[in-house]
A = this chain, B = another copy of it.
């Protein structure tokens, strides 16, 4: 369970940095105006077998006369975040936060000008940054995420997420959430499902903003974490964030995190990569009726198209197993009328 950085999907980030410059150009806005049907719980989803499968599942398991009825306490739905609830290209958005933190902290660390991996970040020298390897990446994450208090880190994230812009889309990152998934979250909650995030991203990176953006309370966020330390601090208690990994909530870490935080198997899980496969299998192992959703990024125009061996991680085992097991594989290009909320007004 404990951190094995070499197993982490994040380590592939090192490979990513050189690709920022080469990434997909901004999506053109081609979405048709949506006609919202009053009774449609998923108005941004195109009609078809995937939308039908979701609605049928929810209607079935919430019908007390159905043999597949699921009691309310067991209606646990878990969602990966990066690539499932919001975009993850050209790299995981949290890594942009880390790079921005290096730049913000540079004045306090004059030595960084001549010290890798910081030098490469400060000079936007991506090829060199790529060569820093796992150790360099971990150093960037720890030096930008640890060494402060939980309250301080919360403020840093809030102010970044409120202002920072995605380098390609030129939008705030929280504008790059998937409108169809917001509707799915609402639809599940309207049917007494409890919705959770289960992400490889940092738990304290997500908590400051997911309540407002996804309607998911802080205590329903499972993510990667670092160790902490309580300090009474002369009557003004604080919790310090230490540069030691606690949980990497990816791959095997996802069922571990689900067990730690939620304490029961989900009946609904959504993901988009090999890092989500263990969560999907864990959900599939629930003796209750369950639903597995696998997002396939197929829309190079409105979002990004990638799968199999992408620069941000592996997707092939998950996709193959999803198809083989008959899980519901979403084709973003076909199944979603719009991708982002701002397209509603276009």
Q: What is A's interface to B at a CB cutoff of 8 Å?
A: 1-2, 73, 76, 150, 194, 196, 203-204, 207, 211, 217-221, 225, 227-230, 232, 235-237, 239, 242, 252-253, 255-256, 259-264, 278, 281-282, 285
Contacts and interface: CB of A to CB of B under 8 A. Distances in A.
A35 to B, nearest CB: 33
Given A230-B255, A255-B237, A260-B228, A73 B1 contact: no
A285 B236 contact: yes
Nearest to A76: B219
A20 B2 CA distance: 39
A278 B227 contact: no
Contacts of A1: 227-230, 242
B219 A261 contact: yes
Contacts of A194: 217, 219
A262 B76 CA distance: 17
A196 to B, nearest CB: 8
A221 B235 CA distance: 27
A207 B237 contact: no
A237 B218 CA distance: 28
B227 A2 contact: yes
A220 B242 CA distance: 25
A28 to B, nearest CB: 38
Contacts of A76: 219
B218 A230 contact: no
A155 to B, nearest CB: 13
A237 B204 contact: no
B260 A225 contact: yes
B150 A259 contact: yes
19 contacts: A1-B229, A1-B230, A73-B217, A150-B259, A194-B217, A204-B263, A207-B263, A218-B262, A219-B219, A219-B262, A219-B263, A229-B252, A230-B256, A230-B282, A235-B281, A236-B285, A237-B255, A239-B255, A239-B256
